[in-house]
Structure 1
């Protein structure tokens, strides 16, 4: 994985975890389907008012700020 991943201490991506995915200007809910050896993940992305879709080899955004076509941990509320 490029850069230092940002997230809660001790958390690693794993199958079934819920994350956010930046789809254009929309932040979407997503589920991790697979974790690849290079640290990228496969996601089931669930955009609002659109059909869900899958995407492979998605990198984690290097900061907490969303970046297009990358995933982030969901912020705690």
Structure 2
């Protein structure tokens, strides 16, 4: 069970965007919360209070991945 810790929406967004950049650059296998926080000027303690498990942070970031909620393009109707 995750205990919710309040985090300002703009700071939460900065963290999620930093995770996006880190995953795109390093991949999930090399993802490190402390290194990400240092590179992006974020507070590692605040991040770990809100997301004690790095997997939870990654899952939240993936749920908000740019374009993740985009619908597939409408290419017309295909008849068979």
TM-score bracket for the superposition, by shorter chain length: under 0.3
Structure 1 length as normaliser, TM-score?
0.26
* Larger strand share, 1 or 2: 1
Structure showing greater Rg: 2
Structure 2 length as normaliser, TM-score?
0.26
* Larger helix share, 1 or 2: 2
